[in-house]
Amino acid sequence: MTALDSPKCRPSAPCGACEFCASPDTDGRQLVDLNERRIARGFAPIETSKGKPYPVLLWVGDIERREVRWLWPGMIPFGKVTIIEADPDQGKSTISLDLAARLATGRPMPDGHPVESAAVILMSAEDDAGDTVAPRLDAARGGKAPIYLLDEVVRLNAAGAEVRSDALLLRDIDYIEESIVGMAAKLLIVDVLTAFLDPGIDAYKDQDVRRVLRPYRDVAERTDCAIVFIRHLKKGGGKAIYRGGGSIAISGAGRSVLVCGPDPNDESGATRVLAAVKGNNAREKLAYSYRLTNAAPDVGWDVARVDWLGRSTVTADDLSAPYEDDAGELETACDFVRDTLRVPTPAKELERLARDAGISDATLKRARKKLHAKATKDAVGGGWRVVLPALNREEAQLALVEPLEPLEPLPWSEAQSELSTGGDE
């Protein structure tokens, strides 16, 4: 107000004491009524008595400053919406249940960050509660913790009798918020997002998506609950931020977006990575390695469990890059590797040469994997050198042999003379 209305406002008076400041609202914030500003500047007020809506402005000086609280620092904030996305069989649902079990039992997050025990609410559309969800929670040591499945709403019919709905959808936000508040839940997991959209909502239309997800931003803020939506990736290539299924507005709604995928550095395919695609409230984009293991010894039958391996240097775009490369790019990279590895080459030098040739690190890794090129310790210098297996190396070395130039034919008369004399004197 002082900066905007300095000719009229009385800076010496306490904020809210003069006629140009509105009274505090129920949250203790000073709201500046547009009409007061219009009158102060000599404009006619908006006639609100006729029911015409008018804007209300919030002075930034009255906004309460607060630090973002984290369920998992840099990855999942409290009071915000987070998106976890992946292709099938990468463990996104198993990861969400592992985090749910950690919060519900008060155990540290994968990075060691401490948390206070709190209730968790699950909305699961794809996995059966009895043979998948509950056993996975058992494997994550959360089977007896305060974790609750929410999948239907009881409504009253015209006769006043209770009727159970067929399914709970995101449009039932009032019931969902009541459940969060009633259980004092600090984590809501919706798996998967598109399964809980109203049939009339198009997940690929920005306006439809924003209309559904915007209220959940407000719910998360009001309840200080971390809301996690899980979704699949779409087929094809592109940067990680565009790989999520549905509208880009889904990523826009999330303050944090995380993606799961195979670690391109692990040729066995056993290691996976959970990496931050975006993080509006994080200082940096983090990534963590993990493996999915069988918890049968603890549970009694085959069920997946997450084993966290620590921080990773793999980025979200690294996880997405294999899908970007078309057959031509991969084959070009393979040709480059064959040509360069005619002799063992230091790993760092190979990467530098590949970048100079316009080949991404991820594509180089795919080419190395396809050709079975391995990094071996140099017995002399101690560094790492990349070598091709014998078969591919022999094929590559053949290219080193320069073909002999064809002999020029002798003139016909000379050829006859050679033949008559036997070619030898």
Q: How confident is the model at residue 324 (pLDDT cuts 50, 70, 90)?
A: very low
8 neighbors 37 (Cβ within 8 angstroms): no
Instruction: Tell me the one-letter amino acid at 412.
Output: W
Phi first, then psi, for residue 125 (nearest 5°) are: -105, -20
SS (H, E, C) 270-313: CCEEEEEEEECCCCCCCEEEEEEEECHHHHCCCCEEEEEEEECC
The residue behind tokens 């003069």 is 18
pLDDT of residue 134: 96
Give pLDDT tens digits for 325-342: 456 778 888 888 888 888
Percent of the chain with pLDDT over 70: 77
Give pLDDT tens digits for 229-255: 999 998 766 689 988 999 999 999 999
H helix intervals, 157-295: 173-183, 206-223, 248-253
**Partner residues linked to 84 by β-bridges:** 230, 258
Top-level class of domain 70-321: alpha beta
CATH for the stretch 325-398: 1.10.10.10
Q: What is the mean pLDDT of residues 318-330?
A: 67
Give pLDDT tens digits for 256-280: 999 999 999 998 889 999 999 999 9
pLDDT of residue 21: 46
pLDDT of residue 237: 63
Confidence check: pLDDT of 6 > 90? no
Q: What is the mean pLDDT of residues 355-375?
A: 86
Q: Which residue has the higher pLDDT, 312 or 412?
A: 312
Contacts of 335 (CB under 8 A, 6+ apart): none
Confidence check: pLDDT of 318 > 60? yes
Confidence check: pLDDT of 413 > 90? no
Q: For residue 203, which of 265, 251, 138, 144 has the smallest C-alpha distance?
A: 251
pLDDT of residue 212: 96
pLDDT of residue 9: 47
pLDDT of residue 408: 63
Out of 122-126, 152-156, 187-191, 211-215, least confident range: 152-156
Bridge pairing between strands 226-232 and 185-191: parallel
Confidence check: pLDDT of 395 > 60? no
Give pLDDT tens digits for 70-117: 999 999 999 999 999 999 999 999 999 999 999 999 999 999 999 999
Helix (H, G, I), strand (E, B) or coil at 111: coil
Confidence check: pLDDT of 306 > 70? yes
pLDDT of residue 358: 81
- What is the sign of the dihedral through the CA atoms of 282, 101, 87 and 226? negative
Q: What is the distance between the alpha carbons of residues 316 and 256, in angstroms, rounded to a whole number?
A: 13
pLDDT of residue 272: 97
Out of 151-160, 350-359, 371-380, 391-400, least confident range: 391-400
Percent of the chain with pLDDT over 90: 49
112 neighbors 105 (Cβ within 8 angstroms): no
Could you state, in order of their start, the residue ranges of all structural domains in the chain?
1-65, 70-321, 325-398
Helix (H, G, I), strand (E, B) or coil at 214: helix
Q: For residue 77, which of 181, 176, 173, 220 has the smallest C-alpha distance?
A: 220
Instruction: Tell me the one-letter amino acid at 275.
Output: A
pLDDT of residue 49: 58
Confidence check: pLDDT of 11 > 90? no
Give pLDDT tens digits for 23-80: 444 333 344 566 676 677 777 766 665 566 767 777 888 889 999 999 999 999 999 9
Give pLDDT tens digits for 175-234: 999 999 999 999 999 999 999 999 889 898 899 999 999 999 999 999 999 999 999 998
Instruction: Tell me the one-letter amino acid at 238.
Output: G
Q: How confident is the model at residue 293 (pLDDT cuts 50, 70, 90)?
A: very high
Q: What is the distance between the alpha carbons of residues 415 and 74, in angstroms, rounded to a whole number?
A: 84
Q: Which residues of 202-230 are buried (b: 16+ CB within 10 A; e: fewer)?
A: ebeeeebbbebbebbbebbeebebbbbbb
Q: Which helix (H) or strand (E) holds 362?
A: helix 361-371
